C-alpha cells in the first residue's frame, strides 16, 4: 500500500485541502486494541483456531508484524514529545450486553467482551500509562457513544492520528466522524489492521479522497519530529 497519494487521475483528489500539523495540537488515537479481537490468543483467535479456520490469519499476522510495533513506536514518540494519547475500547458495560446496540450484542457476548473481563482489556504490549485517556464505546464509531468530541476540544487536540483495528470498521468510522466535525485526520496506514487486505487498502484509498490523509509511521514520525 503506497502512502504517497492515490491515482492522480482521480479528480476528487484536487479538492483535498492540506492542513498543517503540530505535535502540541495532536492526539494519537489507539482504536480497540483489546484481547477480544486484537490478539491471536484472545477470544476471536481462539475460536478461529478451534474451528480450524484461517479467516483471521491475515488479521493477526498484520497486527503482530505491523500494528503493535508501529503503534508502540508512535506511543513512545507522542509521550516523549508531549502529544496527546487517547485509547478507545469497544465492548459492553454489562456481561449480558444489554447496554449495547442490537447489532453489536452477539459479537460482545461471543467474545466475552464486557467491562471487567480479560477480553475487554487493552493488549499488554500497548497498555496505557497512568493519566492517559481511555474512552469506552459500544458503537463502531466513537462519536456515537462516547464524549470524545467534547474531550478533544477541551484538550485542544484538533489533529488526530488514527491507529488500531479494524481499519474498515471502527478506525474508519471514527476517522470519518472526526473529519466531518472539522478535525484534521490522518490514518496511519501501517499501524492499522483488518481481516482482509482488500478491505484495508480500499479504506485507505477512499479515505484520502476527501476525509483526510494517509501516511506511514515513518512519515508521521518525521513530520512530527518524534
pLDDT band at residue 122 using 50, 70 and 90 as cut-offs: very high
Torsion of CA 185, 191, 194, 195, to 10 degrees: 170
pLDDT band at residue 15 using 50, 70 and 90 as cut-offs: confident
Instruction: Tell me the percentage of the chain whose pLDDT exceeds 90.
Output: 92
User: What pLDDT does residue 2 have?
Assistant: 53
- pLDDT > 90? residue 100: yes
Average pLDDT of the residues in 94-112: 98
Considering the four listed CATH numbers 3.40.50.920, 3.30.300.30, 3.40.50.150, 3.40.50.850, the one that applies to the domain covering 11-224 is: 3.40.50.850
Domain boundaries, the chain: 11-224
Lowest-confidence range among 15-29, 68-82, 96-110?
15-29
Q: What's the grid cell of residue 182?
A: 472539522
d(CA 11, CA 52): 45
Average pLDDT of the residues in 29-52: 98
Average of per-residue pLDDT values in the chain: 95
d(CA 112, CA 77): 33
d(CA 214, CA 143): 21
pLDDT 10s digits, 72-83: 999 999 999 999
Lowest-confidence range among 15-24, 66-75, 186-195?
15-24
- Residue that wins the pLDDT comparison between 71 and 209: 71
d(CA 186, CA 38): 21
Q: In what order do the strands lie in the sheet with 184-193?
A: 133-137, 84-90, 26-31, 159-165, 184-193, 213-215
b/e code 192-218 from CB counts within 10 Å (16+ = b): bbbbeeebbbebbeebbeebbbbbbbe
- pLDDT > 60? residue 87: yes
pLDDT band at residue 14 using 50, 70 and 90 as cut-offs: confident
Q: What's the grid cell of residue 102?
A: 442490537
- pLDDT > 70? residue 6: no
Count of Cβ atoms closer than 10 Å to residue 18 Cβ: 7
- pLDDT > 70? residue 5: no
* Cell 469506552 -> residue: 136
Count of Cβ atoms closer than 10 Å to residue 41 Cβ: 11
* Cell 466513537 -> residue: 142
CA distances from 129 to 8, 85, 156, 190 (A): 42, 9, 20, 23
Average pLDDT of the residues in 120-142: 98
d(CA 118, CA 150): 29
User: What pLDDT does residue 157 have?
Assistant: 98
d(CA 176, CA 163): 13
What is the gyration radius of the CA atoms in the chain, in angstroms? 17
Instruction: Tell me the percentage of the chain whose pLDDT exceeds 70.
Output: 96
Amino acid at each position: 500500500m503506497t502512502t504517497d497519494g492515490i491515482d492522480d487521475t482521480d479528480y476528487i483528489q484536487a479538492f483535498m485541502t492540506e492542513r498543517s500539523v503540530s505535535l502540541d495540537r495532536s492526539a494519537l488515537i489507539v482504536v480497540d486494541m483489546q484481547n477480544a479481537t486484537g490478539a491471536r490468543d484472545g477470544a476471536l483467535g481462539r475460536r478461529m483456531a478451534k474451528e480450524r479456520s484461517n479467516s483471521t490469519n491475515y488479521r493477526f499476522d498484520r497486527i503482530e508484524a505491523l500494528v503493535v510495533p508501529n503503534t508502540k513506536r508512535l506511543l513512545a514518540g507522542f509521550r516523549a514529545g508531549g502529544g496527546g494519547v487517547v485509547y478507545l475500547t469497544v465492548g459492553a458495560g454489562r456481561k449480558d450486553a444489554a447496554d449495547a446496540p442490537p447489532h453489536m450484542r452477539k459479537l460482545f457476548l461471543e467474545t466475552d467482551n464486557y467491562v471487567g473481563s480479560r477480553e475487554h482489556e487493552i493488549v499488554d504490549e500497548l497498555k496505557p500509562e497512568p493519566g492517559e485517556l481511555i474512552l469506552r464505546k459500544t458503537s463502531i464509531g466513537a462519536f456515537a457513544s462516547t464524549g470524545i468530541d467534547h474531550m478533544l476540544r477541551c484538550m485542544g487536540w484538533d489533529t488526530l492520528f488514527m491507529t488500531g483495528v479494524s481499519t474498515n470498521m471502527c478506525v474508519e468510522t471514527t476517522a470519518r466522524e472526526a473529519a466531518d466535525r472539522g478535525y484534521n485526520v490522518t490514518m496511519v496506514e501501517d499501524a492499522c489492521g483488518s481481516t482482509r487486505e482488500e478491505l484495508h487498502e480500499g479504506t485507505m484509498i477512499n479515505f484520502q479522497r476527501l476525509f483526510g490523509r494517509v501516511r506511514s509511521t515513518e512519515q508521521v514520525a518525521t513530520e512530527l519530529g518524534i
